[in-house]
Chain A
């Protein structure tokens, strides 16, 4: 077997700046796109219940389109095809302290739009899981739609939304690799750049796999904490265990309370 352990350990524990920058991009793209995707999902989920047929049709078209085409195609379409067709070109944005390159903007747009379609269904299911009596009680107290959605229905829907949301973020961490095709130097592209100079393909892809595994594993801990925190709202949020407490109990295999 041709495996250079020295190279392997070096890249695993002393990653270069290119690699660290890739890690940062992977994480920030995931968090930003998941957040935006969730916001899109909330808006679109409410749209599915609109009394205006045009809004319902628009949401149905959006989810059909985004779930029916490959994410990789969407990414290339939004960044490359739109520019080639002379429709829209993502230009670098200079915020003064930082420049956001066009391809990163396109990556965020594509990942968020794609994620939003999946979140729409998840959030819709969450809203529908809340008993209708809750809406009636809120209405009878004089609350209007947006008020009772925000204060009464969505907080209860969270219980149903959080577990699949956790899975979505796990997928998001890995799906960010796809934006390497439009030149966003996230972890995978960083790995490719290093291998093209060093030819240590076996070692570096083992390292990058371990990095993703670490990210998803750490997220798994956060996810089970989130599920505990929001899992049983009737028990009360204030009485639920903190993150550190949950982690400790997770390893001691004791059920939390």
Chain B
């Protein structure tokens, strides 16, 4: 795997706003159950934020709110200074049109736990699909970018393979390339290595680390503490729908502030 993944898409996004994500007082309910309780988080350009926490703490739900795969009931989330999923009318938030939401999602790459590659398309076709269909990039140009991305994630020879012919680790690297091909200014990783066999976790983490080093703004929900320690600028600990700690990794791993963080670390680092 060679470095400079982002070179394949012309470097980091030219977006200039300093705050990429600004979430303020986000409440989210599933029925009567409140999964997010006043979550606020700001992520600056180039920052790598790792969200950790026990299962059911709301971390996955929270990053799914950032590209409006989940609706929120209170608060607001801005990406690159624009309200996500909603627009304001007379001081009230109403859900935005499908077209506008789709337009905002172009700027936000997402990598899923279960890869979610399109099984009827080859690796290459998976990557060029959205640039061509959504951004209107000419096919030749999209293909060139896709090949460069595949090469940088170490899969140059797998362009014509179908997802079913790839290992989990390879599929997830294609999925990362697919998200990057849209030239996002923010990447969300939702437990990107949790569904992988242990021997394949490393190859995916390598790509994620490389992206982090190259200056991609990232929010990653993960249980990989090594990743957090190595490349995270901040570690955010969530528990029962709240952020209970937001600090630098060194501090978090050596001297966690709360008892719950200590207990969580004791369990996960065992």
Contacts and interface: CB of A to CB of B under 8 A. Distances in A.
Contacts of B122: 236
Given A151-B129, A151-B133, A233-B119, A144 B112 contact: no
A234 B163 contact: yes
B99 interface: yes
Given A141-B182, A142-B105, A136 B162 contact: no
Interface in A212-257: 233-237
Interface in A126-143: 131, 133-134, 136-143
A142 B133 CA distance: 9
A43 interface: no
B105 to A, nearest CB: 5
A18 interface: no
B162 A141 contact: no
A234 B166 CA distance: 11
A63 interface: no
**Interface-central residue, B106, B117, B162, by most chain A CB under 10 Å:** B162
Chain A interface mostly: helix
Contact of A235 (B98, B99, B162): B162
A155 interface: yes
B134 A136 contact: no
Interface string B98-140: 1100110110111010101111101000000110011100000
A59 to B, nearest CB: 21
Given A141-B178, A143-B102, A155 B134 contact: no
Contacts of B116: 131, 133-134, 136-137
A152 interface: yes
Contact of B120 (A136, A145, A155): A155
A140 B110 contact: yes
A156 interface: yes
B164 A147 contact: no
Interface string B130-163: 1001110000000000000000000000000011
B114 A156 contact: no
A177 to B, nearest CB: 38
Contact of B99 (A141, A144, A155, A156): A144
Given A133-B114, A134-B116, A136-B116, A142 B130 contact: yes
B67 interface: yes
B163 to A, nearest CB: 7
B105 A140 contact: yes
Contact of A147 (B118, B133, B179): B133
B103 A142 contact: yes
B268 interface: no
Nearest to A147: B133
Interface in B170-229: 175, 178-179, 182
Contacts of B182: 141-142
A243 B29 CA distance: 53
Contact of B69 (A134, A140, A151, A235): A140
A146 to B, nearest CB: 10
Contacts of A156: 118-120
Contacts of A139: 69, 102, 105
B112 to A, nearest CB: 6
Contact of B119 (A142, A147, A234): A234
Given A134-B116, A137-B175, A147-B133, 8 more contacts: A140-B105, A141-B105, A141-B106, A141-B134, A141-B179, A145-B98, A151-B129, A233-B119
13 contacts: A133-B112, A133-B114, A136-B112, A139-B102, A140-B110, A140-B179, A141-B130, A141-B179, A143-B133, A144-B98, A144-B99, A236-B162, A237-B120
